[in-house]
Amino acid sequence: MVIREQKNHLLLVTQPAHAWLSGQIAEHWGGNGYVRPEPWKEMCLAAARHDHGWTGRDMRLVRNPATGAPYDFRNMPIGEHMDIWDRSVTLVAESNRYAALLVSRHVMNLFSMHDFSGEPDDIRSKAKQFKEKQQELQERLITSCKRDEFYSSFLTDDTLEKHRRLLSAFDYLSLYVILGNAEKSALSDVPSGKSGSGTIQLENKEEAAGNDAGPEANGLLQTCAVSPWPFLTDRLSLRCDAIRLKTFCADQEELDRVMEQGDRVLFTVELVPE
């Protein structure tokens, strides 16, 4: 779950919904030198479904007793995160081998960012098994794709890494606009052209009037300025459902009840050139 704090309520976006925003970003990519590398359909599939291992899990949230809010993707136990990453790769593999290969490389990049030195023995052992499983899976997927004339030319380390970086860019941009970070940010090392890369500046603009009018307000609109503009259209509108929590929940039973009721609203993002 991605959780955004508003003045008087929380806005929750499920990980599959966040991934759908990533897929919408990918669908419109390809302007001002930020080309669409082949195989593009598989890239869009990977972007739109890279977090589908969270399906179902985000509707059974666990209350953080220290805050009264649910745990989100940033503070959930790493052991559970590995299980979700593994399911995400497996689910994408049911649709396409190459997309699953990209998602596996994406989650392994996230995995590599975690410091396991302070984790208990059982988690370090699980991390070792997870890493080995993903490496073996990637080898099997590459071997399978090599037998296919269409995919064989995309399996160099350079091409796979370029595609992985692009998937990470879609993932980051989606999270940035959902969280509504006030600080400017930058997407660095974004693949562009045949062999180059560039940096894309991001800035969330002040929220539209009425976004914090109260829990009864309809949805939320976030505008984000992007420079240089990497899309095929002059402006880009994205949307997904969000779940609104009117208050911090007093206990797990209340959180379960609120999630079952599912107070859904529309979350809309307008990406504009700087």
Report pLDDT digits (tens) over 10-28. Answer: 899 999 999 999 999 999 9
Residue percentage of the chain with pLDDT more than 70: 94
What are the tens digits of pLDDT across the range 100-144? 999 999 999 999 999 999 999 999 999 999 999 999 999 999 999
Chain-wide mean pLDDT for the chain? 91
Task: Please spell the DSSP secondary structure of 161-188, one letter per residue.
Answer: HHHHHHHHHHHHHHHHHHHT-SS-EEEE
Phi and psi at 70, nearest 5°, equal -70, 155
Confidence of residue 218 (pLDDT cuts 50, 70, 90): low
3-state secondary structure of 201: strand
| Residue 25: closest CA among 54, 49, 48 | 48
The whole-number average pLDDT for the span 47-60 is: 91
| Token output for 241 | 């459902």
Q: Which of 227, 156, 167, 157 is nearest to 191 (CA)?
A: 167
Whether residue 240 is predicted with pLDDT greater than 90 in this model: the reply is: yes
User: Using an 8 Å Cβ cutoff, are 218 and 235 in contact?
Assistant: no
Q: Does a cis peptide bond (omega within 30 degrees of 0) precede residue 39? A: yes
pLDDT band per the 50, 70, 90 thresholds, residue 207: low
Nearest CA-CA partner of 163 in 174, 175, 146, 151: 151
Is the pLDDT at 246 greater than 80, yes or no?
no
